[in-house]
Amino acid sequence: MTQTASTEEVRAALIARREIALLDLREEDPFAQAHPLWAANLPLSRLELEAWGRIPRRDTPIVVYDDGEGLVAPALERLRALGYTDVKALEGGLAGWREAGGELFRDVNVPSKSFGELVESRRHTPSLSAQEVQGLLEAGSDVVVLDARRFDEYQTMNIPGSTSVPGGELVLRARELAPDPATLVIVNCAGRTRSIIGTQSLVNAALPNPVAALRNGTIGWTLAGQALEHGAQRRFGPALRPAHAEAARDAAGDVARRAGVEVIDAATLARWQAETGRTTYAFDVRTPEEYAAGHRPGFRGAPGGQLVQETDVHAPVRGARLVLSDEGDGVRAPMTASWLAQMGWDVAVLEAPPAGALETGPDSAPQPAPPAVRGVSPATLADWLATGDTVLVDVTASASYVRRHIPGARFAVRSQLPALLPQLGAPRRLVLTCGSSLLARFAADDIAGLTSSDVFVLEGGTAAWVAAGLPVEAGETALLSARIDRYRRPYEGTDNAAAAMQAYLDWEFGLVEQLGRDGTHHFFVV
């Protein structure tokens, strides 16, 4: 019999700050349409690939839900197979939450976005309109514009002349990029949150310069009819003058203390991590390049600005403890921690670590071994496809499928594949692929025994097909599933409708009121 948890029980855990992971099993687009504030999106289609990395303690209280899609039963089975022992279904699913009076939020990364709006409303974070900023730039005023997004987002579109300085780097780098205290520092993102948090970070850290957010980011710039730059490469430099580094370190430490952030040593971290009844996440908040060059064993890579923006992705267990490291620079971890503490997290900073062995390489999540399935080489698959008795299904991300896929491949969301089998007929062979073959192996296991076709997985996935010099095609050529695996953010890309961008801004303005109705956030503002 399936164990359940009521909306009232989940809310009580959140209000009492007891650990709980409330997981929305749907794909990202339906999740973004409506979900509880502290729900984390963990689609059934990727559950095995992400669960261990995102929910490290196997006895964490977990509550899962869908909106009637039939995802809960298989998710409970898979989570228990992965070793999780306290797994329940939300009574009535999303509809039950709504009927019980639970508040529902739109979009993604809502905790950080609603917190950003609260910060602006409480601290009156200084800002300038797109028209005002453009006027300053055209007049040749003493201004620097710092883009607080990830570098890849910056490259898509940016304010002309701006420099990429992801949010977690701002306090560390701003004095170097604007050494004259008379220089106006303007911080932008695509919308509002990272502009607000970045600007307020500089204010909190007592940067001597005047500081302002670009109001409404690149959305506001576009709605004002002003041209953006594309493909820019300007990034902050690696060198810091000692005086600038020291000033940033002193300021960051002061901000963290005001937010109630604890500084711990390695022995305390080891003791916390040995606790069986508490989850302790450990994050290295430096850049991905620094993380890959060498990081403490057991620490996941999460650049500071993105960790604040996407805390629900990195740490879906609300009520868990977070420990941050910047490997001793003393700026990025305290500043990041100061924001996480204000967002209601129990967060500490690891003091400058002693010399010791470091691990190298990019961040990677622990995953179970994939199921054993029959494989086929790219060359053999090409021969099979030519005979017409083989159907190829691609379960990769829809954006990757549209960018390139094997000619004739049909796209399907993995969680929908069993229900889609009748549309495939009864071919002699059914071959599954994805980018690397990993997700395809789990998908092949899903349909074992559900089809009369012989089921195979393309060895090495589509990447191996490309490496073999075989042809690919692009576009939405054969979609068995709608592209619901990715929510199209109104603030990303360069071809969004003006109405959608304005609606997004209007939604953000209403988040503080929603927080008041929800009552589970524990946010405060220093």
**Helices 332-342 and 193-204, interaxial angle, to 10°?**
120
Q: pLDDT tens digits for 111-152?
A: 999 999 999 999 999 999 999 999 999 999 999 999 999 999
Mean pLDDT on 215-241: 94
Provide the pLDDT for residue 212: 98
- Tell me how many domains the chain contains: 4
Same domain, 118 and 104: no
User: Is residue 421 assigned to a domain?
Assistant: yes
Q: How far is 129 from 216, CA to CA, in rounded Å?
A: 8
336 located within any domain: yes
Residues 329 and 384 in one domain: no
pLDDT, mean of residues 171-198: 97
Q: Which two tokens stand for residue 247?
A: 């000033």
Could you tell me if residue 442 is inside a domain?
yes
Torsions phi, psi for 484 (to 5 deg): -95, 0
Mean pLDDT score, 55-79: 98
Q: pLDDT band at residue 504, thresholds of 50, 70 and 90?
A: confident
Is 126 within a domain? yes
The residue behind tokens 């909306």 is: 7
What global pTM score does this model have? 0.96
Is residue 23 located within the same domain as residue 37?
yes
Q: State how far the Cα of 67 lies from the Cα of 89, in Å rounded to an integer.
A: 12
Give residue 67's pLDDT: 98
The pLDDT assigned to 167 comes to 97
Where does a domain end: 467, 482, 499? 467
Cβ-contact 126, 213 below 8 angstroms = yes
Chosen domain end from 77, 108, 139: 108
The tokens for 371 are 């199921």
DSSP string, 254-306: HHHHHTT-EEE-HHHHHHHHH-SSS-EEEEE-S-HHHHHH-B-TTPEE--HHH
Q: Note whether 449 and 390 are same-domain residues.
A: yes
| 229 lies in the same domain as 158 | yes
Q: 3-state class of 354 per DSSP?
A: coil
- Measured distance CA(311)–CA(315) in Å, rounded: 6
Q: Give residue 444's pLDDT band: very low, low, confident or very high (50, 70, 90).
A: very high
Q: 130-144, 310-324, 498-512: which has the minimum mean pLDDT?
A: 498-512
Residue predicted with more confidence, 410 or 352: 410
Q: How confident is the model at residue 493 (pLDDT cuts 50, 70, 90)?
A: low
In what helix (H) or strand (E) does residue 391 lie, and over which residues does it extend? Answer: strand 390-394
pLDDT digits (tens, 9 = 90+) for 249-300: 999 999 999 999 999 999 999 999 999 999 999 999 999 999 999 999 999 9
> Other CB atoms closer than 10 Å to residue 61's CB: what's the count?
21
pLDDT, residue 227, reads: 96
Tell me: do 409 and 301 sit in the same domain. Answer: no
Determine contact, residues 344/523, Cβ cutoff 8 Å: yes
| 462, 412: one domain | yes
Structural domain includes residue 247: no
Looking at the structure, do residues 262 and 343 belong to the same domain, yes or no? yes
- The bridge status of strand 4-5 relative to strand 375-376 is unpaired
CA distance 22 to 19: 10
Report the percent of the chain where pLDDT is more than 90: 93
Inside any domain, residue 481: no
- Whether 489 has a pLDDT exceeding 70, the answer reads yes
Do 66 and 162 share a structural domain? no
Sorting pLDDT into bands at 50, 70 and 90, what band is 492? Answer: confident
Res 342 pLDDT > 70:
yes
Cα–Cα distance for residue pair 233/19, rounded to 1 Å: 42
Same domain, 63 and 122: no
Q: Which domain-ending residue is among 198, 233, 268? A: 233
Residue 389 sits in the same domain as residue 318: no
CATH classification at residue 315: 3.40.250.10
Torsion of CA 111, 117, 119, 121, to 10 degrees: -150
Between CA 270 and CA 276, with CA 275 as vertex, the angle to 5 degrees is 145
Domain presence at residue 356: no
Q: Which band of pLDDT confidence, cut at 50, 70 and 90, is reported for residue 494?
A: low
Same domain? For 457 and 412 the reply is yes
Terminal Cα distance for the chain, rounded: 47
Domain that holds residue 408: 375-467
Closest CA to 306 of 473, 512, 166, 126: 166
pLDDT digits (tens, 9 = 90+) for 358-404: 999 999 999 999 999 999 999 999 999 999 999 999 999 999 999 99
In a domain, 505, yes or no: no
Q: Does 496 score more than 80 pLDDT? A: no
